[in-house]
């Protein structure tokens, strides 16, 4: 059965624009190129509606960009999400190569982020239906890993760049990305591509097979897509730009009256408080004075050697000296190792000419491995007592001569090696549904009903993870009664603290720790979690009435959805010992959602000259109650060449499972109590908050599309967007909880536990709260032009296509009621910045030119982002001429990060039944922008905004049988 009403309406002449460039159908103007008929010089298009209304010729007022198969051909990538995220409207998206996040469990996933508002505010759909999230917590909680989707059957990707909660549901606060399948595909096709950097590393390949066939006299249709991908990753940082280390640090030379900057960027930066084998930092001689042991490091075999501190010392950092012996950034990898397997099956069958049943199965299995994250470093808080027999004799002699009973040192614990990280996800999805047409009162209606059940089994492991409590016990060593090294707890007079498994750990040097000691102190943190989503839904659409201007279209439906999470985690002993990374805790919870929704298009002027679009959705959460979302929009075509569109919508982002139910972690810290005027050590417990409400967003959009009749192959669009978010969710921290309670926030006062005797704070529950307001505003500009070269000269063959896409971010602010964080252009790290701020490049662009002649086409692409800053609060000044630094506006010697442009070059050659291609990504081997770090192990650069692998050569073959 062929549906009469399709989300993609064919042969509708639109004011949107398209072309045959590298990103051939990336449009904010609701369209992509279809075939031109003979004698028609205007572009005829496939119209992307961005709406539940499927009336032929209708163009929704909400901007929609589209990627079609031509775009996929022109810009081959390892995963389809990597192509989508190159659209300038995406800011800060995470892909499998640059996403190494351990804490929220999303390492190795491909998460799309519209407007820089966070992946959890971008709704991902597969053929209009939801997909289960990849994690539960943080800014990525509930976000979908698009690398699981069946890329071989995706014929189109639609990106709705505006609030769409009334149309598609919660989490569409920033927009929607809908991956649409070619459900009618017939035939068999295979694909293979391999890639490598010109440095000889980063090997990756993707191999896939897709097929489609009819059966039962063409009443049935079967689809299959199988894909296998592998990326070896790049361990370490074998790149010239990563040989040194630059860091942003507090300036030790600063004084309020000497015109020096408060912060400074230093070169040749290393740790001042630790080396791989250990570094003595302090001690207390019996006679007082300086510690004679300071600057003694322990090298291979435990041999003491002098350590040269740098010329600039700031906190944990130093510049110069023996910085290369204490830098960590080179051991962490440029990209992850990953392997993945995807399977997709679909069967449909026409029960009648007007009713079709269908079923789908999708399975994705991915394993991401990072064999070198950080070491289990201890920065100056290791105490070694004089009776430790592992102290080298020369150091013992100095201690005895100076009456030193102990010293404190820092160590990277090189003998223990890197903490590793493994993330495995097994995503399973079933869909059962039926669709068709029915006539009611002589009006044809399209209908669809479906049940979706999908879940993600997530396994996180952190091998070689240091248990700090056991480390403290194992490194506190004395001689036992037989003269052998032993753990102090097993020799002292208290039998209650004995641990027979404790093995004495020599942490003074490299190659000196015993296997038994390492086995005792190091463990594997782990977490096994299932995230499950089930949904039943039904909808109808049709044109029940007509008014003076044409048919009035309506669509309506209802859905019921459940979300749940359950997991098991590392042993209670390991969690109590505080693992260095990945302190997972058991989390359980669930909620359900009921929704009713409707949308209408009312023509106000005939021939689609003026349409009013309205949508409403009522949503009821079992956790927070009901909430309404809505949209009102106008699409006006005053002339054949010009279309003007405007929208206003109310949107929501529902709290994630992590926001609601995360078991969190606990720790101690110092809290200042403004009620009593005292400071005290307080237990802080982070956990979910089942009482938080959905985030509320109000979106305004205004734009136009211009496609002049006097220049038929040219088109442009310009759109303004303004998104205001209230009640944004944030865990604000223990001190902020107390301060806000003192300022009168009674809800937060309930998170504080006091001793009934002295009224002092003993515990604080740090939970997500609806405490922020945010605003994102800016402009999207797109232009395209295509023409045959014969227009210039009859001797010239082929066509040229040009395209340019540009996004400018005017506003990206986050306000917690005290501080307004400005994230526009903030592409570098900073010190003292609010942790809740959103960040994005101020401008991002993508442009291309394609030459096509017969079977060959060549595409040259330029893409990049504008100049940025470390922090918009900073005042840049030269040393010796700086104003007085303030808390609101600190001074810094460099607050500028250069703009960057990458160039790609692609070749495609069509075969009789396929094509071969070669693509050079970052063809000029451009290094990432020079960005100083505030993390001593991640290294320079920003892996989210900049490419770090260098030039990549990709070759491949697509063949259809």
In degrees and rounded to multiples of 5, residue 758 shows phi and psi of -105, 0
pLDDT in tens, 8-26: 332 232 333 333 333 333 3
Cross-strand bridge partners of residue 214:
221
Contacts of 32 (CB under 8 A, 6+ apart): 16, 18, 24, 25, 45, 46, 48, 66, 68, 156
Band of the pLDDT at 83, cuts 50, 70, 90? Answer: confident
Please tell me the distance from the alpha carbon of residue 299 to that of residue 512, in angstroms, as a whole number.
10
Is 267 strand, coil or helix? coil
* Best CA proximity match to 174, nearest among 90, 82, 92, 86: 90
* Best CA proximity match to 723, nearest among 707, 706, 743, 699: 699
* Best CA proximity match to 339, nearest among 205, 461, 236: 205
Give the full edge-to-edge strand order of the sheet including 752-754.
666-673, 678-686, 761-766, 752-754
User: What's the average model confidence in pLDDT over 731-745?
Assistant: 84
What's the angle, vertex CA 843, arms to CA 27 and CA 20, rounded to 5? 30
Q: Which of 775-779, 835-839, 883-887 has the lowest mean pLDDT?
A: 835-839
H/E element, 957:
strand 952-960
What is the distance of C-alpha 494 from the center of its chain?
A: 50
Band of the pLDDT at 668, cuts 50, 70, 90? Answer: low
Please tell me the distance from the alpha carbon of residue 765 to that of residue 665, in angstroms, as a whole number.
10
Please tell me the distance from the alpha carbon of residue 856 to that of residue 854, in angstroms, as a whole number.
6
Residue with tokens 């009336």: 55
Q: What's the number of CA atoms in the CB half-sphere (13 Å) around residue 33?
A: 24
Inter-CA distances, 691 with 239, 624, 660, 695, Å: 49, 7, 7, 13
Inter-CA distances, 716 with 31, 59, 464, 641, Å: 12, 16, 55, 11
Give the full edge-to-edge strand order of the sheet including 269-271.
269-271, 317-319, 312-314
Contact between 930 and 898 under an 8 Å Cβ cutoff? The reply is: yes
Contacts of 357 (CB under 8 A, 6+ apart): 348, 349, 351, 433, 434
Contacts of 405 (CB under 8 A, 6+ apart): 284, 385, 386, 399
Token readout for 88 is 């300038």
0.75 exceeded by pTM: yes
Q: Exposed/middle/buried for 287, CB within 10 Å: 0-12, 13-18, 19+?
A: exposed
Inter-CA distances, 856 with 796, 811, 918, Å: 15, 43, 12
What is the DSSP secondary-structure string of 184-250?
Answer: T--EEEEEEEEEEETTS---EEEEEEEEEEEETTTTEEEEEEEEEEEE--B-S--SGGGSS--EEEE
Please tell me the distance from the alpha carbon of residue 283 to that of residue 406, in angstroms, as a whole number.
6
In degrees and rounded to multiples of 5, residue 495 shows phi and psi of -70, -15
More confident residue, 12 or 288: 288
Contact between 54 and 6 under an 8 Å Cβ cutoff? The reply is: yes
890 φ/ψ sector (left φ>0, alpha ψ -120 to 50, else beta): beta
Residue 50 is predicted with a pLDDT of 62
Please tell me the distance from the alpha carbon of residue 566 to that of residue 792, in angstroms, as a whole number.
66
In degrees and rounded to multiples of 5, residue 747 shows phi and psi of -60, -40
The mean pLDDT of the chain is: 87
Contact between 912 and 855 under an 8 Å Cβ cutoff? The reply is: no
Token readout for 460 is 């996180």
pLDDT for 30 beyond 70:
no
Residue with tokens 């009403």: 5
* Best CA proximity match to 733, nearest among 775, 784, 770, 686: 686
893-903: buried (b, 16+ CB within 10 Å) or exposed (e) per residue? bbbebeebebb
Please tell me the distance from the alpha carbon of residue 118 to that of residue 138, in angstroms, as a whole number.
10
Of the segments 68-82, 211-225, 364-378, which one has the largest average pLDDT value?
211-225
Please tell me the distance from the alpha carbon of residue 412 to that of residue 327, in angstroms, as a whole number.
10
* Best CA proximity match to 942, nearest among 100, 79, 145: 100
pLDDT in tens, 872-920: 999 999 999 999 999 899 999 999 999 999 999 999 999 999 999 999 9
Is 101 strand, coil or helix? coil
In degrees and rounded to multiples of 5, residue 605 shows phi and psi of -130, 150
What is the DSSP secondary-structure string of 591-639?
Answer: EEEEEEEEEEEEEEETTTTEEEEEEEEEEEETTTEEEEEEEEEEEE-SS
Give the full edge-to-edge strand order of the sheet including 263-266.
247-250, 263-266, 891-892, 875-876
DSSP 343: E
User: Beta strand 799-815 with 856-865: parallel, antiparallel or unpaired?
Assistant: unpaired
User: What's the average model confidence in pLDDT over 613-623?
Assistant: 96
DSSP 897: B
Q: Which of 168-182, 575-589, 739-753, 856-870 has the lowest mean pLDDT?
A: 575-589
DSSP 289: S
Percent of the chain at pLDDT above 70?
90
Q: What's the number of CA atoms in the CB half-sphere (13 Å) around residue 70?
A: 20
* Best CA proximity match to 652, nearest among 488, 529, 533, 770: 770
Token readout for 733 is 């921290």
- Radius of gyration of the CA atoms of the chain, in A: 31
More confident residue, 837 or 96: 837
* Best CA proximity match to 108, nearest among 89, 132, 81: 81
H/E element, 83:
helix 80-84
414 φ/ψ sector (left φ>0, alpha ψ -120 to 50, else beta): alpha
Band of the pLDDT at 212, cuts 50, 70, 90? Answer: very high
Q: Which of 186-190, 747-751, 850-854 has the lowest mean pLDDT?
A: 747-751
Residue with tokens 């609010």: 834
* Best CA proximity match to 185, nearest among 227, 221, 149: 221
Contact between 363 and 242 under an 8 Å Cβ cutoff? The reply is: no
Domains of the chain, each with CATH number or no CATH: 47-237+335-373+421-463+526-655+692-732+767-960 (2.40.170.20)
More confident residue, 742 or 36: 742
pLDDT in tens, 122-151: 999 999 999 999 988 766 788 899 999 999
User: What's the average model confidence in pLDDT over 242-250?
Assistant: 88
Residue with tokens 């700031």: 314
Q: Which of 52-56, 692-696, 867-871, 889-893 has the lowest mean pLDDT?
A: 52-56
Token readout for 902 is 């990458």
More confident residue, 349 or 323: 349
pLDDT in tens, 363-408: 999 998 876 666 778 888 899 999 999 999 999 999 999 999 999 9
Residue with tokens 């909660």: 165
CB neighbours (10 Å) of residue 215? 11
854-885: buried (b, 16+ CB within 10 Å) or exposed (e) per residue? eeebbbbbebbbbebbbbbbbbebeeeebeeb
Percent of the chain at pLDDT above 90?
63
Query: How many contiguous H segments (helices) and E segments (strands) does the chain have?
Result: 10, 49
Please tell me the distance from the alpha carbon of residue 242 to that of residue 327, in angstroms, as a whole number.
11
pLDDT in tens, 925-946: 999 999 998 877 676 778 788 8
Residue 372 is predicted with a pLDDT of 61
What is the DSSP secondary-structure string of 396-417?
Answer: HHHHHHHT--EEEEEE--GGG-
Q: How many residues does the chain have?
A: 961
């Amino acid at each position: 059965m062929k549906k009469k009403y399709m989300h993609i309406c064919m042969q509708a002449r639109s004011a949107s624009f398209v072309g045959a460039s590298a990103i051939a159908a990336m449009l904010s103007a609701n369209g992509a190129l279809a075939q031109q008929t003979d004698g028609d010089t205007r572009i005829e298009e496939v119209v992307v509606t961005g709406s539940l209304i499927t009336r032929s010729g209708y163009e929704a007022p909400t901007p929609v960009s589209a990627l079609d198969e031509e775009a996929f051909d022109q810009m081959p990538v390892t995963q389809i999400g990597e192509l989508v995220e190159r659209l300038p409207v995406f800011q800060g998206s995470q892909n499998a190569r640059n996403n190494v996040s351990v804490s929220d469990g999303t390492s190795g996933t491909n998460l799309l982020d519209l407007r820089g508002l966070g992946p959890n505010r971008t709704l991902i759909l597969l053929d209009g239906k939801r997909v289960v999230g990849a994690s539960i917590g943080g800014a990525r909680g509930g976000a979908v890993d698009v690398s699981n989707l069946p890329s071989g059957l995706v014929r189109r990707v639609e990106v709705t760049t505006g609030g769409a909660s009334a149309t598609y549901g919660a989490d569409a606060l920033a927009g929607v990305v809908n991956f649409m399948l070619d459900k009618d595909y017939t035939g068999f096709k295979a694909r293979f591509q391999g890639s490598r950097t010109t440095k000889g590393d980063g090997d990756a390949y993707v191999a896939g097979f897709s097929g489609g066939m009819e059966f039962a006299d063409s009443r049935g249709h079967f689809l299959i897509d199988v894909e296998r991908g592998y990326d070896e990753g790049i361990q370490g940082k074998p790149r010239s730009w990563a040989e040194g280390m630059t860091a942003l640090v507090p300036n030790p030379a600063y004084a309020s009256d000497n015109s020096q900057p408060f912060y400074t960027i230093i070169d040749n930066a290393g740790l001042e408080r630790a080396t791989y084998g250990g570094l003595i930092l302090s001690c207390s001689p019996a006679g007082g004075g300086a510690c004679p042991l300071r600057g003694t490091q322990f090298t291979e075999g435990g041999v003491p050697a002098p350590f040269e501190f740098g010329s600039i010392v700031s906190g944990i950092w130093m510049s110069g000296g023996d910085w290369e012996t204490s830098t960590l950034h080179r051991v962490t990898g440029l990209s992850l190792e990953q392997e993945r397997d995807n399977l997709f099956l679909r069967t449909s069958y026409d029960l009648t000419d007007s009713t079709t049943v269908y079923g789908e199965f999708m399975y994705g299995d991915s394993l991401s491995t990072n064999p070198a994250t950080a070491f289990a470093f201890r920065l100056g808080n290791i105490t070694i007592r004089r009776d430790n027999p592992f102290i080298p004799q020369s150091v013992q002699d100095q201690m005895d001569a100076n009456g030193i009973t102990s010293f404190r040192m820092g160590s990277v614990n090189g003998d223990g090696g890197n903490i590793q990280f493994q993330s495995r996800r097994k995503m399973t999805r079933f869909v059962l549904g039926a669709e068709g047409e029915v006539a009611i009162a002589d009006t044809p209606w399209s209908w669809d009903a479906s049940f979706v059940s999908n879940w993600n089994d997530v396994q996180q492991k952190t091998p070689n993870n240091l248990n700090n409590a056991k480390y403290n016990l194992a490194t506190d060593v004395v001689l036992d009664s037989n003269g052998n090294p032993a753990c102090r707890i097993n020799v002292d007079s208290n039998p209650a603290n004995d641990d027979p498994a404790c093995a004495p750990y020599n942490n003074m040097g490299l190659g000196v720790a015993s296997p038994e000691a390492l086995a005792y102190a190091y463990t594997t943190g782990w977490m096994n979690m299932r995230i499950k989503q089930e949904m039943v839904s039904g909808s109808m659409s049709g044109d029940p009435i007509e008014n003076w201007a044409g048919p009035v279209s309506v669509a309506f439906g209802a859905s019921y959805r459940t979300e749940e999470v359950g997991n098991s985690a590392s042993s209670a002993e390991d969690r109590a010992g505080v693992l260095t990374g990945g302190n997972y805790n058991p989390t359980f919870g669930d909620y359900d959602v009921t929704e009713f929704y409707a949308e209408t298009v009312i023509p106000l002027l005939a021939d689609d000259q003026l349409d009013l679009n309205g949508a409403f959705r009522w949503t009821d959460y079992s956790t927070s109650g009901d909430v309404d979302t809505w949209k009102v929009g106008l699409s006006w075509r005053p002339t054949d060449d010009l279309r003007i569109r405007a929208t206003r919508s109310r949107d929501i982002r529902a709290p994630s499972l992590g926001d609601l139910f995360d078991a969190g972690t606990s720790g101690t810290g110092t809290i200042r109590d403004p009620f009593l005027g005292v400071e005290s050590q307080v237990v802080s417990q982070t956990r979910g908050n089942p009482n938080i409400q959905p985030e509320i967003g109000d979106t305004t959009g205004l734009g136009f599309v211009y496609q002049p009749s006097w220049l038929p192959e040219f088109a442009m669009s310009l759109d303004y967007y303004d998104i205001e978010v209230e009640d944004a969710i944030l865990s604000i921290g223990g001190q902020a909880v107390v301060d806000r309670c003192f300022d009168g926030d009674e809800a937060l006062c309930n998170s504080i536990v006091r001793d009934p005797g002295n009224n002092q704070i003993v515990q604080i529950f740090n939970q997500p709260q609806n405490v922020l307001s945010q605003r994102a505003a800016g402009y999207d500009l797109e232009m395209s032009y295509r023409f045959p070269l014969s227009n210039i000269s009859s001797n010239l063959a082929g066509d040229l296509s040009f395209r340019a896409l540009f996004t400018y971010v005017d506003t990206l602010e986050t306000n917690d009621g005290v501080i307004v964080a400005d994230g526009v252009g903030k592409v570098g790290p900073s010190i003292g910045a609010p942790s809740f701020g959103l960040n994005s490049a101020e401008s991002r662009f993508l442009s291309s030119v394609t030459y096509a002649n017969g079977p060959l086409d060549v595409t040259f692409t330029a893409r990049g982002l504008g100049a940025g800053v470390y922090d918009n609060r900073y005042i840049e000044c030269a040393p010796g001429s700086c104003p007085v630094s303030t808390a609101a506006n600190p001074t810094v010697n460099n607050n500028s990060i250069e703009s960057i442009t990458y160039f790609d070059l692609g070749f495609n050659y069509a075969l009789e039944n396929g094509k071969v291609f070669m693509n050079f990504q970052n063809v000029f081997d451009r290094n990432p922008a020079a960005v100083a770090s505030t993390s001593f192990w991640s290294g320079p650069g920003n892996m989210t905004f900049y490419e770090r692998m260098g030039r990549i050569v990709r070759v491949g073959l697509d063949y259809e049988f």
